[in-house]
Amino acid sequence: MTAQTPTDPAGTVLAHLSDPHLPLPAGLQPLSVLNKRLLSLLSWHTKRCRDHLRETLDRLVADLHREAPDLIAVTGDLTNLGLDMEYRRARLWLDSLGDPARVMVIPGNHEALVRGAWERGAVHWRPYWQGDTLQPDVTHAFPTLRRRGPLALIGVSSAIASPPGQAVGAVGDAQLKSLAKILRKARAEGLCRVVLIHHPPLDGTVSQRKSLRDGADLRALLAREGVELMLHGHSHRSHQQVLQTRDGPAPVIGVPSASSMRHEAAAYNLCRISPVAGGWEMTLTPRHLTAEGRMAAGCRTTLTLARSHAAQ
């Protein structure tokens, strides 16, 4: 995949949504859920099926299409049980979202609910998670890199199978080593580095049972190598936090679920990233679903990131 967004002085608009939790398909085979999936299945039928509504997601996506962003990032949890039939259905939803050249997805913990679920299901989404360099083996595919104009979109997988009652994630040593090289190279190329990850990278954002196990290692690497923007999901809430790095502060932005009104109104973010002298300007505009069923814009935030490596 080599398609690139042309550099535009007005900026590149990146839409970020997460945790759509598409409805479970009918006809589940009993043997397919005789593991941790059984607890998640019970959770779906007793609670989550009333929280995550397809009509809510469809309204949000219709608004996203009207806004027509240049790029779209989906930070995981498209499925609930990580079943093959869910992966297939989610592929149809991804196809409706946009062309794989402009839509990038990473897995969440629900994609890896049991061991091997992501590795088996990933083939269905390959054009959407694949970086510019084709990786035949999903086991070692992440981190992925897509160069889009002035942006380096870097996908990191925190999806691992965890014990019942937990939804933890981990990046792992191999990914961390590769991530350091990608960040370093993208910096040398003068790119704005945007890291996508499902689990929040900062401590205290979610409870311990939902946390990123090696978050401290990831934060240390990012502080050492630098990053311009981090986007995550998982908490089903909005977050605007900051990570200090060698190159200056980097925004860490979380977004609510795209299909639920439970914790917060279903929402996605539009982030316009524009080159300015000595760095980038980022304008973040949340768009959320109101109680009346209409989409509305939230408070706009504009940040200027001074970066000495920014290409002029």
Residue 98 belongs to domain with CATH number: 3.60.21.10
Measured distance CA(98)–CA(53) in Å, rounded: 21
Boundaries of domain holding 41: 12-306
Measured distance CA(199)–CA(213) in Å, rounded: 10
Mean pLDDT by 10 residues, the chain (312 residues): 48 97 80 74 86 97 98 98 95 98 97 95 96 84 96 98 93 98 98 98 97 98 98 97 98 98 96 96 98 96 96 72
173 belongs to a structural domain: yes
7 belongs to a structural domain: no
102 belongs to a structural domain: yes
Task: State how many domains the chain has.
Answer: 1
Answer whether 20's CB lies under 8 Å from 77's CB.
yes
pLDDT at res. 165: 87
pLDDT at res. 31: 61
311 belongs to a structural domain: no
Share the mean pLDDT of the chain.
Answer: 93
pLDDT at res. 143: 97
121 belongs to a structural domain: yes
244 belongs to a structural domain: yes
- The pTM of this model reads 0.94
312 belongs to a structural domain: no
4 belongs to a structural domain: no
